[in-house]
Amino acid sequence: MIGYATIGTNNLDNATKFYDAVFAALGGQRTFAMGDRMQFYGSKAAPGMVAVCKPYDEKTASCGNGSMFGFPAATKEAVDAAHAAALAAGGADEGAPGARTDNFYGAYFRDLDGNKICVFKMG
């Protein structure tokens, strides 16, 4: 359903290194960049993309209260690996991996700019 989503950053180099680690654990990788402003990530297994970017208006990037990005994982082990990679890359824990419902296994963290991320496995 979604084509792509962008996550704002104030330091594209640091954000790219952070998301390299997180998306590698989920089977994703860099797809293409738009100059020194935006880096896209994707996977052949899923049609949508995620980009980290400096805001187009050149103002400070900020995270939204109540905003969160959810990235699907193929397995619970991939959820665990992505969460561990995020913390090792400097992210902040917002909820250790675990079952949240009978059908939802997830982990939560914040990236280097404070954006809240969930990595999850349904089923």
Confidence category of residue 45, pLDDT binned at 50, 70, 90 = confident
- Looking at residue 113, its pLDDT comes to 97
Whether the predicted pLDDT of 1 surpasses 80: no
- Is-contact 106 80, C-beta < 8 A? no
How high does pLDDT run on average in the chain? Answer: 96
Assign domain 4-55+69-122 one CATH number from 3.20.10.10, 3.40.50.1370, 3.10.180.10, 3.40.50.300.
Answer: 3.10.180.10
**Per-residue confidence at 2, pLDDT binned at 50, 70, 90?**
confident
Please state the domain extents for the chain.
4-55+69-122
> What is the per-residue pLDDT for 47?
87
Residue 48 — pLDDT band, cuts 50, 70, 90?
A: very high
CA distance 55 to 94: 25
Q: What span, in angstroms and rounded, lies between the C-alpha atoms of 27 and 34?
A: 22
**Distance (Å, rounded) from C-alpha 120 to C-alpha 98?**
9
